[in-house]
Amino acid sequence: HEFVDGALNHVVQMSKVLGEQIGNGYPVWPVAIHGHYADAGDSAALLSGALNVPMLFTGHSLGRDKLEQLLRQGRLSRDEINSTYKIMRRIEAEELSLEASEIVITSTRQEIDEQWRLYDGFDPILERKLRARIKRNVSCYGKFMPRMVVMPPGMEFHHIIPHDGDMETETEANEDGKSPDPPIWTEIMRFFSNPRKPMILALARPDPKKNLMTLVKAFGECR
């Protein structure tokens, strides 16, 4: 828990600094702690308890689902999987994160119904019943489950303003009236044999399960 101790010391120090700047001399504490993945979720659970603030958790790739997939592949035994991926420690951290969280953020409904349901600390049917009782202001008899929120991946582009050139220098149009390429273009061109072709920005490791070939195929077929 060395990381948690260091993070806690940092939070305490920053709360005092912020208090001097914007808090009229009173410490400004975090209003919530958000953990990503099992390891950070484990740390966030401890930090939220120490600071007495709510915790949010985004699990991303979940251990129990990964364990089932690896077992179905049949290439490794359960012990080999655990030795390679430390999968049981990962699952333990996810269970702790689930127990400590007020809200769990997912990217799809499938993640809730088919992946999180594998965990001891979550039951999708019971969770919906508890939500309904809370809305009706009816007692849940001490039972609690974190609220699952679906936030599909993506970006909001409505507030992004495109710029010609970089942010510090003004650029002038070429003789043909077209804007010149931005300075970064020369760096990009080094990696492409034909950089004028349409581009796809895909942020993922080159792993077959990331299905990058299907992305290229779909792009080609929709044009």
Give domain status of residue 10, yes or no.
no
The pLDDT tens digits of the residues spanning 118-170 come to 999 999 888 889 989 989 999 988 888 899 999 988 777 777 776 554 444 44
Q: Identify the residue with better confidence: 186 or 22.
A: 22
The pLDDT tens digits of the residues spanning 46-73 come to 999 999 999 999 999 899 999 999 999 8
Is residue 133 located within the same domain as residue 38?
yes
56: β partners: 34, 103
Name the token pair of 163: 């710029």
89/111 Cα distance (integer angstroms): 20
Give domain status of residue 214, yes or no.
yes
SS3 89: helix
Examine the fold and report which residue of 102, 128, 150 is the final residue of a domain before the chain moves on.
150
Residue range of the domain that includes 202: 156-223
Is residue 118 located within the same domain as residue 50?
yes
CATH classification at residue 93: 3.40.50.2000
